[in-house]
Chain A
Amino acid sequence: MRREPAHHAARSGETCAVVTPFRQGESAAPLIAALRAHITRLEQGHARFEAARGKASPWVMGLPELDRHLPAQGLPRAGLHDVSPRAHGDQPAAMGFALALALRRLGDAQERRPLLWCRLSAHEREHGRLYGHGLERLGLSRQRFVTISLKKPASLLWTMEEALKSGAVAAVIGDADAAHADLTATRRLSLAAREGKCAAILTLGSAQPCATASHTRWTAAAVPSASPPYDAQGLGPPCWSIELTRVRGGRPGAWILEWHHAQSRFSLVPGFSRRTLHPGTDQDGAEAAAQGPALRAG
């Protein structure tokens, strides 16, 4: 009876560092107790890991002034959002903001999947193609990024939908025209995003008001950046005027944000004046301005 566990322990002693070799004549009971404790520890660790994996942190913007406007103090991790430029020339700003949103999502430690950016070849001719060195300047590593260039808007929407459904990517950013991103198309994308637990961000070609099934709708425009203190001619971090025009379960609002790629965080621009506020939020903004300098617009 005693031989059997002895052999077993000696064999497992070679492979598992925790188990001490079991000597002849000694009782097996303490060893078995130690092994059981070890297994329990392993199981607890795994349970903790699984729990951490299941409980994903919400997609927050990192600014209380902004997060307050979002449902549940942050965006749902799986869902569709769209960003449109305020004017034609604001397309790069809108794309930059879309990337910043996606980077807030990618920054999660539990998230290992890459970002997919779908481009339309017509848009690439109009606004230029993505440049990896520039993406790195905004905080996106090449290793976590793939892009694809498609000729037809319909194939772009198909690719986005398939990518979202497959769950192979953390977030998908896609060019879309207001003409093609109608209610049906965006509803499909939204459902696909929920299925694959991915975030989808559409960058619309124009600020044309058309109904979409997005969780949130943003408009973005470039604003003059703050010069660094030592150089009046120099350029500061990218600075955008952002308006949250529609949000399910939240409040619309407008802010001027700077993007700090190194920490991948937004900051509110101090000294924000009322003249950049937007018609829809005018009254809220006035109240907010009266409340104090920290809250820019409500």
Chain B
Amino acid sequence: MRGMRLADARAQLPELLTEPHEPEEDMNSLLGLCRWMERYSPWVSPDQPDGILLDVTGVPHLFGGEQRMMAEIRARLAQYGFGVRIGQGGTIGAAWALARYDAKDIESLPVEALRIDAAAAKTLRRLGLKTVGSLLAIPRASLARRFRGETIGENVLLRLDEMTGARDEPLNPLNPPTSFMAHRALMEPVIHMEGLEIVLEGVVNLLCRDLERAGKGALRLILKLFRADGSRANLPVGFSVPTHDPRHMLRVLKPKLEAVDAGFGIDAMTLEARETAQALVQQHGFLEDESTLALEQLNDRVLNRHEAQFLALEQVESHIPERAEAARPSVKRGPAKPARAAASVRPLLIFEAPEPAKVVAAVPDGPPMRLTWRRVTRRVVKAEGPERVAPEWWRLTQGERPRDYYVVEDEQGRRYWLYREGLYGEPGEEQPKWYVHGLSA
């Protein structure tokens, strides 16, 4: 009984078996079942928490008719230990209801079958409207008028329309259909890497031929390996620029394939292009070399293997040193901006977070004489500065203080880029602090 305490239930029935409720696990197994159901239709969607929706338009004749198809589904799922109820209808609403409630047609379905909440169903029942047929008998306009302004009423009308097909209800497939895919089924399961590579080459060539013919390139690919025991391995790969170059695809896919456990062997392979874009047909000039393309392809290989990509450091219009630069993926690099005159000293290396330091200066506002950073004290021999960097007031930077940057050189010639945050003698402010922000060569 729903809502009963575990202790009460155990008191009534001591031999009760209990299992913790794990919605995520339920969802996972539902998704797994959905993927299995793709054998019947490519258009499958999980219906939480306990249903699966299939769009079988144009499918049943492949299984010898609707009745035989339903029987086959029931029989196969029963073999796996699932008890199922199957409903078939012209709309999602009708199919949903017929799978859950015993009825010959939709008129005799109870109002609960409308996918409305319990409160709404209760209200309808209190009004004497017990079946869908009794709702359909009422003229639509008067039904709308009676439930005007009430959320329940709107819900009932919406669901009713969805059941009768007066209103379209989209079915989002688990796997959106792909327009480019290549499939190859094998006579015997293959376990060896060499064999799989040959099959992979085959599907890659097929897919690339189709892509090239359409003038498209793949941005995202998914390689599906069907194992002999019915399980499946999915290997997604991404590309930074649309590509239909089979050599490049193979170089990205092969390392992924190596990591796959073939189990009892792989008997089919599908390569789908999940995302495609217009491929730029590039003609390389007489003088120009192909290094740009080679760099992009290299980037793909690194990205798919180590989840790191090539970054270009782009200049940003700001005076604050850490904001004056942004790292962007190098493939999305914009056109070259005119370089600003590098008037001031900037370090080779910059710390993500400036590191606190202790500094002794001859006069409070003067350049540092002695620097203690990372527990080592250094005597400063040369110093250049200060370079005042004021906070950017237009950014509403609360609590940011002006900085005075110095570049200093110690006795050994090592260079540090440090700044003093805050000014001396400002009323109501704490003492200035020193930070090391970077290191120069």
**Which A residues are within 8 Å of any B CB, using their own CB?**
49, 89-93, 95-97, 99, 112-114, 116, 124-125, 127-138, 141-143, 145-152, 155, 158-159, 162-163, 166-169, 221-225, 227, 233-235, 238-240, 259
Contact = CB atoms under 8 A, between A and B. Distances in A.
A85 to B, nearest CB: 10
B305 A155 contact: yes
B306 A155 contact: yes
Interface stretch (B28-36, B168-176, B288-296): B288-296
Interface stretch (B80-88, B225-233, B381-389): B381-389
Interface in B398-435: 407, 409, 411-415
A224 B412 contact: yes
A127 B349 contact: yes
Contacts of B301: 162
B312 A134 contact: no
B346 A137 contact: yes
Interface stretch (B39-47, B104-112, B313-321): B313-321
B393 interface: no
> Which 10 pairs, one residue from A and one from B, show the smallest C-beta to C-beta distance?
A96-B441, A128-B349, A132-B313, A168-B294, A133-B346, A222-B413, A131-B350, A224-B413, A168-B295, A92-B439
B177 interface: no
A235 B310 contact: no
A149 B307 CA distance: 10
Interface string B296-330: 01100110011011111111000001001101001
Contacts of B339: 136, 141-142
Given A129-B352, A132-B315, A143-B336, A112 B289 contact: yes
Given A137-B346, A227-B382, A97 B441 contact: yes
B363 interface: no
B6 interface: no
Nearest to B383: A233
Contacts of B407: 235
B345 interface: yes
A91 B291 CA distance: 31
A137 B347 CA distance: 8
A148 B308 CA distance: 7
A138 B348 contact: yes
Contacts of A159: 302, 306, 308
Contact of A234 (B313, B330, B348, B382): B382
Contacts of B137: none
A148 B291 contact: no
B438 interface: yes
B342 interface: yes
B410 to A, nearest CB: 8
B247 to A, nearest CB: 12
Contacts of B348: 92, 95-96, 99, 130-131, 134-135, 137-138
Nearest to B337: A142
Interface string B160-195: 000000000000000000000000000000000000
A238 B308 contact: no
B91 interface: no
A155 B301 CA distance: 12
A91, A130, A133, most chain B CB atoms within 10 A: A133
Nearest to B353: A125
Contact of B414 (A90, A133, A141, A234): A90
A136 B414 contact: no
Size class of B's contact patch? Answer: 35 or more
Contact of A162 (B302, B325, B383): B302
B440 interface: yes
19 contacts: A91-B439, A92-B440, A95-B349, A127-B349, A128-B350, A128-B352, A132-B313, A133-B315, A134-B440, A138-B441, A145-B312, A145-B313, A147-B310, A148-B302, A148-B309, A169-B295, A222-B412, A233-B382, A235-B415
Given A95-B441, A233-B384, A125 B310 contact: no
Contacts of A227: 382
A134 B336 CA distance: 18
Interface in B354-384: 367, 381-384
Contacts of B367: 233
A131 B342 CA distance: 13
Contacts of A233: 367, 382-384
Given A155-B306, A159-B306, A224 B381 contact: yes
Nearest to A149: B308
A159, A163, A235, most chain B CB atoms within 10 A: A235
Contact of B346 (A134, A152, A162, A222): A134
Nearest to B301: A162
B306 A92 contact: no
A50 to B, nearest CB: 11
B302, B348, B412, most chain A CB atoms within 10 A: B348
Given A89-B414, A95-B348, A136-B342, A146 B306 contact: no
A163 B383 CA distance: 40
Contacts of B413: 93, 221-225, 239
Given A142-B314, A224-B409, A130 B349 contact: yes
Contact of B311 (A141, A146, A152): A146
Contacts of A89: 412, 414
Given A95-B349, A125-B352, A142-B314, A158 B306 contact: yes
A235 B384 contact: yes
Interface in B266-287: 287
Contacts of A137: 342, 345-346, 348
A168 B295 CA distance: 5
B295 A225 contact: no
A168 B298 contact: yes
